[in-house]
């Protein structure tokens, strides 16, 4: 399927909408009643011919004029280009680059902060029921609420990647596109990132520009193919959570919301309640955000095994956790790793695709007393919850955080317990 958002061929009747899996519907416009929110930053409606339409820039309960941006077998994608009946949660986007055929980085700039969190709560609940196979009563008992993090909905992002266009200008990508939108600033970026001259300069020959804000300063790097080169700022960025300090290469993964690391650590420790002398596994452990406080909690008589496959993160973890002798850093995929002994507790922080059935079965066999699952995608979390449930494990608690305001993304931390707990 090809076609750009925002192309308009005028208003059409239902019998003018092409029924087949072709590009004929792209650019067509029609009035539509917008229904429930769906995972991915859009709401669901029906085209005049009955096909499902996933509508961006809309809100549940609104009536809008939608322009079709993509046509697939059985469904359409569209943008709301005129709001005929607005939701009470609708606001004017603070960013002038937000909206149809513009920057695709933010999904919910047109929604109040409270309305954004309500949408995300609805998505988490729906995914747990549809993919996680929980009953409505079980989901109600979890009391799913998306909690805001300190700092508000703007200026929170400490890591930003600009894409360089053919003319050398740095910008941000359109939704589901490789097309670069030139911007002068990104309002969700940390103030230090907004203050750089990255978008005012030309970057010929570069693919992307990475900007990282930390207490140690603003690090700017260029990316060309597999080569990263420091342009300005510190070679290492400093991150601090509690009593622990990390000195990291700018390319090493770290949570992008400035308040997220401390909030996530607090939630994980509260759920797992580590005991002195226990054995902990930190899977997909990165640079050791969770391993350091786990080591404090289990003490010198306990142990923490961090498993990570990214070479840069492994080196960072080894360097920054070297003063904690109870921590062992293992360079391996989680699937292949064979940590010694049975774990008492596990932190599971997989990539967006989730842990997967193989890893879940491995953990069930290992038999810890509790697992704290840190998830950046509610669909992946729900799929893994279903696998745990097939082994009679229980989703005992769930906390959700609005760690990505203005976007559809939400961070969930789930407590999973075995059947004999």
User: What angle do helix axes 378-390 and 113-130 make, rounded to 10 degrees?
Assistant: 30
Give dist(CA 68, CA 249) in Å, integer: 43
* Strands 170-173 and 180-182, sheet pairing: antiparallel
The set of catalytic residues is 376
Q: Which segments of 50-193 are extended strands (E)?
A: 52-56, 63-72, 75-85, 146-148, 159-164, 170-173, 180-182
Give dist(CA 173, CA 103) in Å, integer: 6
- Tell me if 188 sits within 8 A of 243, measured CB to CB: no
Task: Tell me if residue 11 falls in helix, strand or coil.
Answer: strand
* Strands 370-375 and 345-348, sheet pairing: parallel
Spatial strand order of the sheet with 411-417 comes to 146-148, 394-402, 411-417, 370-375, 345-348, 279-283, 303-308, 327-331
Q: Which H/E stretch holds residue 231?
A: strand 227-232
- Tell me the CA distances in angstroms from 70 to 5, 319, 366, 383, one per residue in order: 8, 48, 45, 27
Task: Tell me if residue 198 falls in helix, strand or coil.
Answer: helix
What residues have CB less than 8 Å from 208, skipping those under 6 apart?
A: 161, 162, 163, 164, 222, 223
Its sign, for the CA torsion 241, 247, 252, 257, is: positive
**Structure tokens, 30:** 């029609």
Pick from 77, 75, 78, 105: nearest CA to 93 = 105
What residues have CB less than 8 Å from 118, skipping those under 6 apart?
A: 89, 146
C-alpha dihedral, 378 to 379 to 384 to 388, nearest 10°: 70
Pick from 128, 146, 147: nearest CA to 137 = 128
């Amino acid at each position: 399927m090809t076609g750009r958002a925002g192309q308009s061929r005028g208003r059409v009747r239902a019998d003018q909408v092409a029924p087949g899996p072709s590009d004929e519907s792209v650019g067509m416009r029609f009035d539509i009643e917008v229904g429930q929110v769906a995972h991915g930053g859009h709401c669901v409606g029906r085209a005049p011919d009955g096909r499902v339409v996933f509508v961006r820039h809309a809100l549940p309960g609104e009536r809008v004029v939608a322009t079709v941006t993509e046509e697939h077998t059985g469904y359409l994608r569209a943008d709301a280009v005129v709001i005929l009946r607005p939701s009470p949660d609708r606001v004017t986007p603070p960013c002038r680059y937000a909206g149809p055929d513009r920057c695709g980085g933010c999904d919910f700039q047109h929604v109040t902060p409270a309305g954004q969190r309500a949408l995300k709560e609805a998505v988490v609940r729906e995914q747990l029921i549809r993919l996680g196979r929980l009953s409505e009563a079980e989901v109600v008992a979890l009391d799913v609420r998306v909690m805001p993090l300190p700092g508000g909905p703007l200026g929170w992002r400490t890591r930003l990647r600009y894409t360089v266009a053919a003319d050398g200008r740095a910008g941000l990508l359109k939704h589901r596109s490789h097309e670069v939108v030139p911007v002068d600033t990104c309002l969700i970026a940390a103030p230090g990132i907004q203050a750089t001259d990255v978008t005012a300069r030309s970057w010929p020959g570069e693919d992307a520009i990475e900007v990282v804000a930390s207490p140690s300063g603003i690090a700017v790097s260029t990316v060309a193919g597999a080569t990263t080169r420091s342009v300005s700022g510190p070679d290492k960025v400093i991150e601090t959570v509690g009593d622990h300090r990390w000195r990291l290469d700018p390319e090493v993964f770290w949570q992008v919301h400035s308040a997220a690391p401390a909030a996530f650590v607090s939630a994980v420790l509260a759920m797992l309640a580590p005991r002195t002398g226990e054995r902990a596994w930190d899977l997909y452990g990165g640079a050791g955000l969770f391993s350091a406080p786990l080591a404090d909690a289990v003490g010198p008589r306990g142990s923490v095994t961090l498993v990570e496959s990214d070479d840069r993160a492994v080196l960072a973890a080894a360097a920054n956790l070297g003063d904690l002798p109870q921590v062992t850093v293992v360079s391996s995929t989680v699937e292949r790793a064979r940590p010694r002994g049975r774990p008492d507790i596990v932190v599971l922080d997989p990539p967006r695709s989730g842990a997967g059935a193989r890893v879940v079965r491995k953990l069930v066999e290992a038999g810890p007393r509790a697992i704290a699952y840190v998830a950046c995608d509610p669909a992946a979390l729900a799929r893994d919850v279903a696998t745990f449930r097939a082994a009679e494990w229980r989703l005992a608690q769930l906390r959700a955080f609005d760690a990505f305001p203005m976007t559809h993304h939400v961070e969930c931390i789930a407590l999973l317990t075995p059947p004999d707990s």
